[in-house]
Amino acid sequence: MTTSALSAPPLHSSAHDDNVPNGEDQAQRAAELAALHRAADAGEEAAAWVRQLAGRQGEEEHGRLLERVAEAIVKASSREIIPGSDGLLTEELRYTLAADVVLGASHTTGTLPELHPGERMPLIAVCSIAATLPSCVLGDLVREVEVLAAEMEAATDAGRAAELPAAG
């Protein structure tokens, strides 16, 4: 049986070796990894909701735009949160996640996307939060990502709740 490179002990060990992670470093890395997973999960859930919005669009252009937004949410809430990076999104992702997503392709269709009352604000919130997540690497990554992931989850829940018919 072989051990994976990740679980193998270091080849040499010294109390003075700065490259050997201590318990505190390992705990910090574990906390960062957990926060990054939570952000990715929140992004996946938000993207699934946005894909539902895309699926019910009568105008094909609105649907395509919302599909791109969903993909951008996934990227910004996972692959773009890179510890040690400058925390900036690519221009394409910034543009795709801009708050004017709620206007959809209205410049070409002359119509707005078909959104239920109460869905526009959660859509703006989800996009704004996704666009902000990568910048957390410049501050307290764990705390900031945890807060923003929780807010993304709440915005997604609010968007989904807006779809439900009012009880009467």
Give the pair of three-digit tokens for residue 32: 């960062």
pLDDT in tens, the chain (168 residues): 443 333 333 333 344 455 556 888 999 999 999 999 999 999 999 999 999 999 999 999 999 999 999 999 999 999 999 999 999 999 999 999 998 888 888 888 888 999 999 999 999 999 999 999 999 999 999 999 999 999 999 999 999 999 776 554
pLDDT at residue 117, as a whole number: 92
Distances in Å between the alpha carbon of 150 and those of 18, 68, 76, 125, 126?
A: 35, 23, 15, 12, 11
**CA 100 to CA 167: how far, in whole Å?**
31
**CA 48 to CA 157: how far, in whole Å?**
12
Q: State the DSSP code for 111.
A: S
Contact between residue 74 and residue 132 where contact means Cβ atoms under 8 Å apart? no
pLDDT at residue 5, as a whole number: 37
Residues whose CB is less than 8 angstroms from the CB of residue 128 and which lie 6 or more positions away in sequence, other chains included: 97, 99
pLDDT at residue 141, as a whole number: 96
